[in-house]
Chains A and B, each alone.
Chain A
Amino acid sequence: MPIEVRNLTHVYMRGTPSEVTALSDISFRIEDGEFVGLIGATGSGKSTLIQHLNGLLKPTSGTVLVDDMDIWAKGSSLKEVRRKVGLVFQFPEQQVFEETVFDDIAFGPENLGLSEDEVKRRVERARQMVGLSEEIMSRSPFELSGGQLRRVAIAGIVAMEPKVLILDEPAAGLDPRGRNEILGNVKRLHESGLTVILVSHNMEDVARLCQRILVLDKGRLVADGSPREVFTRGDLLRSVGLRPPDVVSLMERLRQKGWKVRTDVLTVEEAYEEIVRELNGKG
């Protein structure tokens, strides 16, 4: 189920002195099964953009197409769009409210009007997807640790069985272990067939996980390409307030020192191989 955005512009507080253009003339198309990273400095419009993809915000101009249907056209159901496009907000644990973990994960599926058995099946599947133990399902969500609670919140969206999953900084504020667990979950969800859009500030995470990267700067789409294409453009990234992954910076500096290494490496392993190759070649 592809998602497409055509000439999307969004203006907050239109017609008042505090009018702000948050997005201007953005176009892209995301196909089934892609894993897309959305990066940009704070205030670049990332959150505004993703809220358009499931119809929480209405474009000031331009169109959003989910499954090649304009979601704001007459006869289009926003509820249906939100079922297909799951959006996990930043710090999603703050939206948890039910008395037990099970009830909270079931909130979404119940809103879809599913039968009790189907709700149970989906909650169970979502629980396994995010790796929560069975015994915590009957506990109060307010007794859980931050990382566990975040997984409960993500499971709440996964249980609605969307086709596309959008996550806004899913690992923000977690310790390294919680981070790895959450990102591992996201990877697993993608492998299970979901289209994933990941918003992140962490270039290493994006470089490691995503197949395609969109870069936003002041409401404009300034780059759209594979991690290798985007991350080798160190100057562009720095000019929009980001920085390339550490390994890319390392390779850039080695090149400045006269080493003949490639700079389009994305992981430590690749960098290691490249450096070893260069050293051997020298030797």
Chain B
Amino acid sequence: MPGGVIIGQYYPARSFVHSMDPRAKILISIMFMIILFSGNNFYAFLVVGIYAAASIILSKVPWTVVLRGLRPIAFIMLFTLVLHLFLTPGPVLFQLGPLKATWSGLVQGVFIGVRLIILILFTSLLTLTTSPIELTDGLEDILKPFSRLGVPAHEIAMMMTIALRFIPTLLEEAERIMKAQMARGADFESGNMIQRARGLVPLLVPLFVSAFRRADDLAMAMEARCYRGGEGRTRMRQLRFGAKDFLAFAVTLVMLVLVIYTRVRFGPVISPGTF
């Protein structure tokens, strides 16, 4: 089948964020999460929100694409909002049967919701602006110091690379086997849950058989090219920190300082005695 499948959600473009070192992007994403969760008031969110919005604008990824990342968590957000609204003690806002909605619940729910939105918007930027290959390269480099502790950094990265490489291949294969079984009268669409699950056997068995055979062939082909794990292996794409990356780290540190300032200056959004 021509065309092919788009893996992950990488959005190709030329931008400040795209050209950053993947390691910098991964580390900044982790720092961002820590800073976001240490913010305990809406002023902190203002700081973090501006930072996230600026990053998204710099990445040249259209807002519609970034906002799409919120769709899967919309339900969870609504759910936490409702839970907080009714389960937080405090002055009553309105009453629904035995359930009491409170002011503090509303504030708490909105607070958690905003935090989640900022979190998803910013972290989705990592996979939107970094190709899967860059991502695994970066991850391998970051994990390397831990290899002394027994973390198989190179192996993890290689596994991820291979897995990503074979997603489209396996999808194509699944489609082919499905058609072959449909030609034998197999039915993948109708019936109840149990019948449908049973109907998958003619698809899954051949798919697994061929995946194992492929894995065998690939291992052989890699060994034939002298692959012996990561030891002493050089890289074609060398990762290098540049001025952009240091600038990004610096701005992130400024944000950290600002968020700490809001903690000291304004305190938590809900504290005993707010209402």
Contact = CB atoms under 8 A, between A and B. Distances in A.
B69 interface: no
B4 to A, nearest CB: 7
B177 A94 contact: yes
A257 to B, nearest CB: 45
B185 interface: yes
A89 B180 CA distance: 6
A176 to B, nearest CB: 24
A82 B3 contact: no
**DSSP class of A's interface residues: helix, strand, loop or mixed?**
mixed
Interface in B125-161: none
Contact of B179 (A22, A89, A96, A97): A89
B3 A107 contact: no
Contacts of B3: 12-13, 16, 18, 20
B176 interface: yes
B113 interface: no
Interface in B179-219: 179-187, 201-202, 205-206, 209-210
Given A12-B1, A13-B3, A96 B184 contact: no
B62 interface: no
Contacts of A108: 184-185
B206 A97 contact: yes
A206 to B, nearest CB: 22
Given A54-B183, A86-B183, A160-B184, A94 B206 contact: yes
B184 A97 contact: no
Contact of B186 (A20, A83, A87, A111): A111
Interface residues of A, number: 29
Nearest to A48: B1
A272 to B, nearest CB: 41
A89 B2 contact: no
Interface in A6-41: 12-13, 16, 18, 20, 22
B214 to A, nearest CB: 11
Contacts, number: 65
Nearest to A18: B3
A9 B4 CA distance: 21
A108 B180 CA distance: 11
A92 B2 contact: no
A156 B180 CA distance: 11
Interface string A156-179: 110010000000000000000000
A107 B183 contact: no
Given A82-B183, A82-B185, A157-B184, A97 B2 contact: no
Contact of B181 (A79, A95, A160): A95
Interface in B1-57: 1-4
A146 to B, nearest CB: 12
Interface in A93-122: 94-97, 107-108, 111-112
A112 B179 contact: no
Contact of B2 (A12, A87, A160): A12
Given A56-B182, A79-B185, A97-B201, A20 B2 contact: yes
B202 A97 contact: yes
A107 B202 contact: yes
A83 B182 CA distance: 10
Contacts of A202: none
Interface string B164-181: 000000000000110111
A59 to B, nearest CB: 16
A122 to B, nearest CB: 12
Interface string A136-151: 0000001000000000
B180 A111 contact: no
Interface string A120-136: 00000000000000000
8 contacts: A18-B4, A56-B182, A82-B185, A89-B180, A95-B206, A96-B206, A97-B202, A160-B185
Given A13-B3, A20-B2, A89-B176, 16 more contacts: A13-B2, A18-B3, A20-B3, A22-B2, A54-B183, A82-B182, A94-B177, A94-B209, A95-B206, A96-B206, A97-B206, A97-B209, A108-B185, A111-B186, A142-B209, A160-B185
Interface of B: 1-4, 176-177, 179-187, 201-202, 205-206, 209-210
Identify the 10 closest CB pairs spanning chains A and B, nearest first.
A111-B185, A97-B205, A95-B180, A108-B184, A13-B3, A87-B183, A18-B3, A20-B2, A89-B180, A56-B179
